[in-house]
Amino acid sequence: MTRRMKWYGSLVLVLQLAACATQNGQQAMETIGRGLLGLILSPLMIIAGIAQGLAFLPYTIGTGLAELNRGLLQAQAVPLDDSYKATFRVSIDDPRVNQQTGAAPGESIYGRYHPEAMAEATRAFQRLLVSQGMPEDKARHHVLAGVYTHVWSRGHILLSVVYRHPGMQPFRAGSKHTGIPTTFRPDQRGWREPYERDVNGQLIDEVIDWAGIEYATMKVDKVVAMLMVIAAESVKSGKRSPEYWQVERRWIAGESTPIMRESMDKVRRALPG
């Protein structure tokens, strides 16, 4: 059996297991996560995966820092070292960084229901954009957002990177969950969700990229660093994802597991053997 057939075979298996999910879908996606731990990505696969955007994130969990960085360099993408410095304030060459798991020194706040996680992720992302040459005033319009509807019940989060027209300023929009007009400020959790328009119909967010993933995946520091890299690459490419708003409606209505499975299958088809 060829390497390509083995690789596809292992992924097809975990996707089939996902179809046998428990009612809330959590077991299904945990099964997929365990299956992907054994997938080691080649540089060509990393290059192809980056083009698929944030949906590629779960595939990176089993590959070491050196291999990930090699693929990024070949793709002429944002270096993983720059992402670690912006996100964890440490180089990937620091002896305290585990070269296989990617664990950085200190206790991470990501993937652990920390109320400041998304706000700090946005600050780190903006630092990374500035480190790549983007003016700070422009970087402050780029925000990492998340819909937490199924985080506590299923362990699923809908992540997105958006261009926010008001920047880091407050805005007034209908609450995503109650519909009540609300003023959202950067220190509030609601501000960290995407919004299409404000109460006056003015555009707030243009979604650049999105993905539904297991929230616990964000406990892995190298996945968080790759999130920053892929988000930055999506910004560089000028990408927009207007289909996001329909996906979000499906997600809030309860279709998180099918959406995650669809995204993973799309990435699978794009990766070379």
Mean pLDDT of 79-86: 96
DSSP-derived pairing of the beta strands 171-174 and 205-214 = unpaired
Residues 208, 239 contacting (CB under 8 angstroms): yes
First-to-final CA distance of the chain: 12
Average pLDDT for the chain: 86
The rounded distance, in Å, linking the Cα atoms of 13 and 23 is 20
E-assigned strands of the chain? 142-147, 156-164, 171-174, 181-184, 205-214
Region of poorest pLDDT, from 26-30, 184-188, 247-251:
26-30
Q: What pLDDT, on a 0 to 100 scale, did the predictor assign at position 115?
A: 76
Compute the distance between CA of residue 140 and CA of residue 120 in angstroms, rounded to an integer. Answer: 13
Question: 55 with 200: CB under 8 angstroms?
Answer: no
Q: How many other C-beta atoms are found inside a 10 Å radius of the C-beta of residue 201?
A: 7
Question: What does each C-alpha distance from 207 to 73, 104, 242 come to in angstroms?
Answer: 26, 30, 7
Q: Where are the domains of the chain?
A: 3-270
Structure tokens belonging to residue 41: 């990505």
The Cα–Cα gap between 124 and 128 comes to 6
Q: Is the pLDDT of residue 147 over 80?
A: yes
For the segment 204-258, what is each residue's pLDDT rounded down to a tens digit?
999 999 999 999 899 999 999 999 999 999 999 999 999 999 999 999 999 999 9
Q: Is 238 helix (H, G, I), strand (E, B) or coil?
A: coil
Q: In Å, what is the CA distance from 12 to each residue of 160, 239, 257?
A: 26, 29, 16
Range from 7-16, 31-40, 55-64, 176-185 carrying the lowest mean pLDDT: 7-16
Give the pLDDT score at 150: 94
Q: What is the pTM of this model?
A: 0.86
- For residue 110, give the DSSP letter: T
Pick the range with the lowest mean pLDDT from 9-18, 34-43, 63-72, 183-192. Answer: 9-18
Backbone angles phi, psi at 173, to 5 degrees: -150, 165
- pLDDT of residue 26 exceeding 70: no
- Measured at the CA of 65, the angle between CA 61 and CA 69, to 5 degrees, comes to 110
User: What does residue 10 show for φ and ψ, rounded to 5 degrees?
Assistant: -65, -40
Nearest to 247 by CA among 256, 239, 236, 238: 256
**Residue 35 pLDDT > 80, yes or no?**
no
Residue with tokens 């993973």: 264
20 has pLDDT over 80? no
By the 10 Å C-beta count (0-12 exposed, 13-18 middle, 19+ buried), 110 is classed as buried
How far is Cα of residue 63 from the mean position of the Cα atoms in its chain?
A: 17
On whether the CB atoms of residues 151 and 215 are closer than 8 A, the answer is yes
**Percent of the chain scoring above 70 in pLDDT:** 85
Could you tell me how far CA 62 lies from the centroid of its own chain? 16
Q: Residue 174: is it exposed, middle or buried by C-beta count within 10 angstroms (0-12/13-18/19+)?
A: middle
